[in-house]
């Protein structure tokens, strides 16, 4: 493989990502469908849902301490704010709040009440934020306040219960000590020993310590917390508005469209980018033909002034002329993968005209013996083809010895054409000795032979010519050719002893036909309302299209044999 044919580096990750993104943008209908679905969903949520209101209250949680003003006293002593948040959404708090609301005329169960509650804790604080969402703003305020109050009530009751339990435990320890103290006092009054007095003093110390603890428990401040922010009735519904929901819906819809496009891209067998085409075919991309309205359906773009299509054909011809593989043989086989061969015929004729412009002696051979149409497409003038003198031994009147047609391209020169004719045995005609002698004319200095063959995957005709015309150019529509087709073409041509010089991409034939119909309709209407066609769509030829070229028949001298 020559350096010109080297495939691009597959490790170029940024380039691959750019190609994939561009490929996703090809499926505009799927992207638009996703965006529309997202916008409809956002609009439905904004307009179809019921308005909700959220009231919020904040509670500062504190511990029970004896002296909040004492040095070292902290309100967060022993508080686990995570556990407190779980307590705030517990069934116990819900039951207390439901009882409070029932007295106010709001009959709601604890489970239903808790469904609208959300308790959060701002970072690095001892604050619990009670947020309640309901369909009525006053109801949201009342329920948020009831739940916050129920939490404080439950926490106070829990603290007081803990103090009572501890006090009862100290009193249970104190009672036997007091009884023992009284017994020792009686013994001391009766003149008992000195050790009785010492034991009595120890018991009195223990009794004093327990009494002190009981007194400290009774002195604790059991305030569970403070309602720093009282819930108020909200004045506007909560949640995103219509514009925000539409924006979110559009973003989600775009993501859905990209996902659908990616799925479509994964299962799309068609060539998705020039990089994939080059990788599958194993040959470079020679050019991409622009969409251009032809002059009354004329096949040749070479010879039209200001034609972008003609310039692209010239660029392809120059690139082939400097290609080492083509320059070594000056033979080119032009074919398509499958289906319609009209684009390949146009490419072969225009490349022949482009090489003629360079001063080369060009011979264009139409090897399509199944549906020959190149001579008819090049011009309507009919000239009887006379066989050359040396054709008698090869079978006078048979292809390719039937004769040649000279094609004049205005301002560009001329090239010779051997038009195709229908044959009973196509393989025998394509492999006959006259075909070999015609192709061998490319060995003369300055000669170029271009052979137009039927689609390589539809018939074996192109494969039969590969051993004589080694250089092959594939003309295809990137939207219709499959990667597997290109890989198969590369294998078939390589196994037949040829090489693919490159690919030439052309626009969809359906789009070109629609453009031509629009151009014809504009010309028939006289260009009303939008200027002349030449002004709207670029320059075009005037007069009869058959006058753009001339077809003349000539005979080969006997020396050609």
Domain co-membership, 32 together with 104: no
pLDDT at position 452 = 92
Residue 557 has pLDDT above 70, yes or no: no
In a domain, 451, yes or no: yes
In this structure, the answer to whether residues 121 and 254 fall within a common structural domain is no
Yes or no: say if 34 and 256 are a contact pair by the CB < 8 Å rule. Answer: yes
Q: Is the pLDDT of residue 115 over 50?
A: yes
pLDDT band at 148 (very low <50, low <70, confident <90, very high): very high
Same domain, 100 and 249: no
Phi, psi of 337 (to 5 degrees): -65, -55
Give the residue numbers spanning the domain of 38. Answer: 28-50+243-267
The string of pLDDT tens digits covering residues 221-247 is 788 888 989 999 888 777 677 788 788
pLDDT value of residue 57: 92
> Is pLDDT above 90 for 335?
yes
- Residue 530's pLDDT band, with cuts at 50, 70 and 90, is very low
Quick one: pLDDT at residue 71? 53
**For the chain, how are helix, strand and coil distributed in percent, rounded to 5?**
50, 15, 35
Contacts of 15 (CB under 8 A, 6+ apart): 8, 275
**Average pLDDT, integer, range 158-183:** 85
Q: Which of 251, 267, 283 is the last residue of a domain?
A: 267
Report the phi/psi class of residue 43: left, alpha or beta, with left for phi > 0 and alpha for psi in -120 to 50: alpha
For residue 331, pLDDT beyond 70 = yes
* Whether residues 449 and 497 fall in one domain: yes
Helix (H, G, I), strand (E, B) or coil at 57: strand
Tell me, yes or no, whether 341 and 481 share the same domain: yes
Whether 299 maps to a domain, the answer reads: yes
Tell me how crowded residue 509 is: count the other CB atoms within 10 A of its CB.
14
Q: What is the pTM of this model?
A: 0.56
**Does 470 map to a domain?**
yes
Among 111-125, 239-253, 301-315, where is mean pLDDT lowest?
Answer: 239-253
Give 72 or 54, the one with higher predicted confidence. Answer: 54
Instruction: Label the pairing between strands 361-366 and 413-418.
Output: parallel
Q: What does the pLDDT average to over 90-116?
A: 90
**Helix intervals (H) in 358-432:** 374-378, 392-395, 426-430
Same-domain pairing of 396 and 510: yes
Q: State the Cα–Cα distance between residues 453 and 461, nearest whole angstrom.
A: 7
Residue 497 belongs to some domain of the structure: yes
User: DSSP per residue over 450-475, as a string?
Assistant: EEE---TTT-SHHHHHHTT--EEEEE
Q: Which residue has the higher pLDDT, 399 or 120?
A: 120
**Is 234 part of any domain?**
no
Q: Does residue 467 sit in the same domain as residue 382? A: yes
Domain boundary among 175, 201, 229: 229
What pLDDT score was predicted for residue 390? Answer: 41
pLDDT score recorded for residue 539: 33
The dihedral of CA 164, 168, 169, 174: what is its sign?
A: positive
Beta-carbon contacts of 387 under 8 Å, excluding residues fewer than 6 positions away, are: 396, 397, 401, 402, 403, 555
| CB distance 492 to 523 below 8 Å | no
Residue 74 and residue 100 share a domain: yes
Taking a C-beta distance cutoff of 8 angstroms, is the pair 231, 132 a contact? yes
Tell me the mean pLDDT in the region 249-269. 85
Residue-wise over 85-100: b if at least 16 C-beta within 10 A, else e?
Answer: bebbbeeebbbbbbeb
- State how many domains the chain has: 3
Is 114 inside any structural domain? Answer: yes
**Is the pLDDT higher at 318 or at 180?**
318
Whichever domain contains 182, its CATH number is 3.30.1890
Q: What is the pLDDT of residues 396-411, one digit of tens each?
A: 557 777 677 888 887 7
Same domain for 295 and 434: yes
Distance CA 118, CA 415 (A): 86
Rounded distance, CA 177 to CA 204, Å? 8
Domain match, 484 and 366 both: yes
Instruction: Give the chain's mean pLDDT.
Output: 78
Question: Tokens 């090869």 identify what position?
Answer: 394
Q: DSSP per residue over 235-301, as a string? A: SS--S--HHHHHHHHHHHHHHHHHHHHHHHHHT--B--SHHHHHHHHTS-EEEEPPP---STT-S--
Q: Is the pLDDT of residue 368 over 80?
A: yes
Given 204, 229, 254, the domain boundary residue is 229
The model's confidence at residue 369, banded by pLDDT at 50, 70 and 90, is confident
* CATH number of domain containing 301: 3.40.50.300
Q: Is residue 296 part of a domain?
A: yes
pLDDT of res. 352 = 92
**Are 132 and 145 found together in one domain?**
yes
236 assigned to some structural domain: no
Summarize the confidence of residues 540-551 as an average pLDDT.
Answer: 37
Confidence of residue 514 (pLDDT cuts 50, 70, 90): low
Which of 65-79, 181-195, 344-358 tops mean pLDDT?
344-358
pLDDT of 389 higher than 60? no
Determine the pLDDT at residue 549.
41
Same domain, residue pair 362 and 217: no
């Amino acid at each position: 493989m020559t350096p010109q044919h080297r495939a691009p580096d597959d490790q170029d990750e940024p380039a691959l990502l750019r190609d994939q993104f561009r490929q996703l943008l090809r499926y505009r209908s799927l992207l638009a469908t996703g965006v529309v679905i997202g916008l409809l969903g956002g609009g439905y949520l904004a307009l179809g849902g019921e308005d909700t209101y959220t009231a919020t209250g904040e509670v500062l949680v504190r511990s029970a301490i004896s002296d909040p003003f004492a040095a070292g006293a902290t309100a967060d002593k022993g508080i686990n704010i995570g556990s407190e948040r779980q307590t705030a959404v517990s069934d116990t708090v819900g039951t207390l709040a439901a009882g409070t609301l029932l007295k106010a005329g709001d009959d709601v169960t604890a489970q239903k009440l808790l469904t609208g509650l959300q308790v959060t804790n701002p970072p690095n604080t001892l604050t619990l934020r009670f947020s309640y969402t309901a369909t009525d703003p006053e109801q949201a305020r009342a329920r948020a306040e009831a739940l916050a109050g129920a939490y404080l009530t439950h926490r106070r009751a829990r603290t007081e219960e803990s103090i009572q339990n501890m006090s009862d435990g100290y009193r249970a320890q104190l009672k036997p000590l007091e009884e023992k103290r009284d017994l020792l006092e009686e013994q001391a009054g009766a003149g008992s020993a000195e050790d009785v007095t010492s034991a009595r003093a120890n018991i009195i110390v223990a009794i004093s310590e327990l009494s002190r603890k009981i007194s400290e428990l009774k002195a604790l401040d059991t305030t569970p917390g403070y309602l720093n922010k009282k819930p108020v009735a909200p004045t506007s519904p909560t949640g995103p508005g219509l514009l925000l929901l539409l924006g979110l819906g559009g973003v989600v819809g775009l993501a859905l469209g990209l996902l659908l496009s990616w799925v479509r891209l994964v299962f799309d067998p068609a060539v998705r980018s020039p990089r994939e085409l080059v990788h599958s075919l194993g040959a470079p991309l020679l050019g991409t033909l622009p969409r251009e309205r032809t002059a009354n359906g004329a096949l040749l773009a070479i010879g039209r002034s200001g034609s972008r299509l003609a310039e692209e054909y010239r660029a392809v011809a120059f690139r082939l002329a400097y290609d080492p593989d083509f320059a070594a043989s000056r033979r080119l086989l032009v074919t398509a993968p499958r289906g319609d061969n009209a684009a390949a015929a146009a490419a072969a004729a225009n490349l022949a005209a482009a090489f003629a412009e360079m001063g080369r002696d060009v011979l264009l051979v139409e090897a399509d013996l199944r549906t020959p149409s190149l001579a008819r497409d090049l011009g309507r003038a009919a000239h009887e083809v006379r066989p050359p003198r040396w054709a008698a031994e090869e079978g006078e009147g048979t292809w390719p010895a039937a004769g040649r047609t000279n094609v004049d391209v205005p301002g560009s020169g001329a090239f010779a054409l051997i038009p195709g004719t229908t044959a009973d045995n196509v393989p025998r005609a394509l492999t006959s000795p006259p075909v070999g002698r015609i192709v061998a004319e490319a060995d003369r200095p300055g000669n170029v032979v271009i052979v137009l063959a039927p689609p390589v995957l539809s018939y074996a005709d192109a494969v039969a010519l590969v051993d004589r015309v080694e250089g092959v150019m594939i003309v295809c529509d990137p939207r219709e050719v499959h990667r597997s087709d290109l890989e198969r073409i590369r294998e078939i041509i390589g196994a037949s002893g040829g090489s693919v010089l490159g690919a030439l991409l052309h626009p969809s034939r359906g789009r070109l036909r629609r453009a031509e119909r629009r151009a014809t309709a504009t010309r028939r209407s006289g260009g009303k309302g939008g200027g002349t066609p030449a002004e709207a769509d670029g320059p075009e030829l005037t007069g009869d299209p058959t006058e753009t070229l001339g077809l003349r028949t000539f005979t080969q001298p006997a020396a050609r044999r």
